[in-house]
Structure 1
Amino acid sequence: MRCVAIDDEPLALQLVQGYARKTGELEVVATFTDAVKAKEYLQQNEVDLLFLDIQMPDINGLELFTSLENKPLVIFTTAFGQYAAEGFNLDAVDYLVKPFDYERFLKAVTKAKELIEYRQNREINEGYLFVKHNYQWNKIYFKDIDLIEALDDYIKLYLSPKPILVHMSMKAVAEKLPPTKFVRVHRSYIVPVEKVDGWNKNSIRIGDKTIPVSYTYQKQVQELLQKRMEG
């Protein structure tokens, strides 16, 4: 899970980072002591989870979270227990009262992980995923995806009538796709199985595009496409 920690106390951020590394489930992609800068980052980058302090100068954590147009999951972290009710009214995953130990932190993270997995499974079962494009979330149906290509820190979703660029990793998008319908064929490409028009050991053809198949993925690709042909 990609997460961001926001707290005006550097020691509190260090504690969250240390606990996050210990879980093995979290990737802390950014930390902020400045809530305004944190908001700017969150408007431009996709994350799964926030660890958000409430008592901060300029903007408190409740105000910051309320102001976000596209809200990730949030775990509030604060020394003041009186904010708990308001935090849960904002559909917080959990509310950690400082000082909290690793076991309590892990319990909150586990709840977040289970909720993310539930949402992903629901999206997969209903045939779509959500991606952030042009500062808003967009529903993309699997049937409309012709190809996925990695471009540095972005992915390019080939859709009709034109492709879109999304700030997202290949690993993150792969986790949102049904493995029976999409297959990774190269470090830079994921293809929809039903759109494949032809293939051999080293390449796949989709319409007028030829996509390379790297050695790492050859066995997996051949097995999946063979099953499709037999089915």
Structure 2
Amino acid sequence: MITCVAIDDEPMALEVLELYCADCDLVELKAVFREPLKAMAWLSHEKVDLIFLDINMPEISGMQLAQSLSPGPMIIFTTAYSHYAVESYNLNAVDYLLKPIIFERFLTAVQKAAKVRSSENIDNSNELTVYLKSGPQTYPVKLCDILYLEKDGNYITVHLKDRNILIRENMSAVFDLVPVSDFIRVHKSFVVAIKHVTMIETHQLTVNGEKIPIGNTYREAVRDILGLR
């Protein structure tokens, strides 16, 4: 789970980000700030992974705030002005969201941030072993053997190359088990291993011969992550 804060002097912009964060399994919003200096004071003693940061603000601009934190949390800039894009990427921002922000674009930005964090923290992920608890048994499973995960009521079915394992877990916790660098959520009920995707269509993709639906909410993010633009 990516911890984050949102900093914006516009109340409506913060409300949108709060709503989107509540609807996204990948992020946990820790705080919101309308005053950037108060945000800086809070960040001086609290740690988060990501900041949604407006650029045009009183007292100090988002660009100045980001520079003051370097090195620091990942940054996703939010603004109504497209001409800041180049400058934001010069600051190594993860993404740049142009207002009004739509949820699909927000989701793409968050998945980029998750991928950056995973690439920084996980090396040789194909050699990693995860431990899946199913009832009284716990199974060691190589990450590279996981094809996809499917929501099954109050459980998740982990589909492997040679078997399935049923675990009691929520979809919101899937990315605590598997890295976003190697897996992508394509539907409210499905997370798939990117390396095992063999075909992509408009409304579905294929993993190990199985057809997996692509939800409308996730379609744009799937296209971005898989490089289909």
**TM-score, with structure 1 as normaliser:** 0.52
Residue 6 of structure 1: how far off its partner (Å): 0.1
Residue 63 of structure 1: how far off its partner (Å): 0.4
Residue 33 (structure 2) aligns with: 32
Aligned residue type for 1:93: V
Measured in 1, the distance between the counterparts of 2:31 and 2:55 equals 18
Residue 54 (structure 1) aligns with: 55
Residue 86 (structure 2) aligns with: 85
Measured in 2, the distance between the counterparts of 1:14 and 1:28 equals 12
Residue 74 (structure 2) aligns with: 73
Identity of aligned residues (%): 46
What stretches of structure 1 of length at least 5 have no aligned partner? 125-174, 176-231
Measured in 1, the distance between the counterparts of 2:89 and 2:65 equals 15
Change (3 A) 1:79 1:65: same
Greater CA drift, 41-50 or 65-74: 65-74
Residue 5 of structure 1: how far off its partner (Å): 0.2
Residue 4 (structure 2) aligns with: 3
Larger Rg: 1
Residue 24 of structure 1: how far off its partner (Å): 1.4
Residue 193 (structure 1) aligns with: none
Change (3 A) 1:47 1:82: same
Q: Which has the higher contact order (CA 8 A, sep 6+)?
A: 2
What stretches of structure 2 of length at least 5 have no aligned partner? 126-175, 177-229
Residue 121 (structure 1) aligns with: 122
Measured in 2, the distance between the counterparts of 1:10 and 1:30 equals 13
SS of the residue 1:3 aligns to: strand
Aligned residue type for 1:86: E
Measured in 1, the distance between the counterparts of 2:89 and 2:122 equals 24
Measured in 2, the distance between the counterparts of 1:23 and 1:68 equals 26
Q: Deviations over 1:181-207 (max 9, x none)?
A: xxxxxxxxxxxxxxxxxxxxxxxxxxx
Aligned residue type for 2:37: V
Measured in 1, the distance between the counterparts of 2:25 and 2:85 equals 27
Residue 23 of structure 1: how far off its partner (Å): 1.1
SS of the residue 1:44 aligns to: coil
Q: Deviations over 1:57-91 (max 9, x none)?
A: 00000000101144100000000111100000000
RMSD: 1.8
Aligned residue type for 1:31: V
SS of the residue 2:67 aligns to: helix
**TM-score, with structure 2 as normaliser:** 0.53
Aligned residue type for 1:50: I
Residue 13 (structure 1) aligns with: 14
Measured in 2, the distance between the counterparts of 1:123 and 1:8 equals 42
Residue 122 of structure 1: how far off its partner (Å): 3.9
SS of the residue 1:23 aligns to: coil
SS of the residue 1:85 aligns to: helix
Q: Deviations over 1:105-131 (max 9, x none)?
A: 00000000011111111499xxxxxxx
User: Stretches of 4+ moved more than 4 A in 1?
Assistant: none
Measured in 2, the distance between the counterparts of 1:123 and 1:11 equals 42
Greater CA drift, 62-71 or 5-14: 62-71
